[in-house]
Amino acid sequence: MEDEAKTTNKSIIKIVGAALGVLFLLLVIALIINLVRLGAENDRKQALIEQNARLEQLIQKNDDLAEYCSSTEFIEEYAREMLDMVYRGETVIGGEEE
């Protein structure tokens, strides 16, 4: 009977060992999967940071252009070049021929 108990204990130990081995393997696989996902998310985050920087530059460039287009300097230049306007009493010398 004692031999039977020893055999049963050995079988239980083998089963528990195999179960722990499978559990360890699953944990390692889950860790690898999560590390790959984390790497991909970090790459995506970096791409979004770079895209954000480009968009911020574009916004700043457009803000500068909008500010310039609302300046008196631009309005006067546009009126002279595109609308052929002059100040009262101003004489145009050497105007371009069309």
Position 71 scores a pLDDT of: 95
Residue 86 contacts residue 80 (beta carbons within 8 Å): yes
Give the model's confidence band at 75: pLDDT under 50 very low, under 70 low, under 90 confident, else very high. Answer: very high
Position 96 scores a pLDDT of: 58
What is the phi-psi region of residue 84: left when phi exceeds 0, alpha when psi lies from -120 to 50, beta otherwise?
left
Integer Cα distance of 81 and 68 in angstroms: 16
Helix (H) or strand (E) holding 46: helix 2-69
Residue 50 contacts residue 44 (beta carbons within 8 Å): no
Percent with pLDDT over 90 in the chain: 72
Average pLDDT estimate for 54-77:
96
pLDDT reading at 52 higher than 90: yes
Average pLDDT estimate for 67-76:
94
Average pLDDT estimate for 55-70:
96
Position 46 scores a pLDDT of: 98
In one-letter notation, the amino acid at residue 47 is A
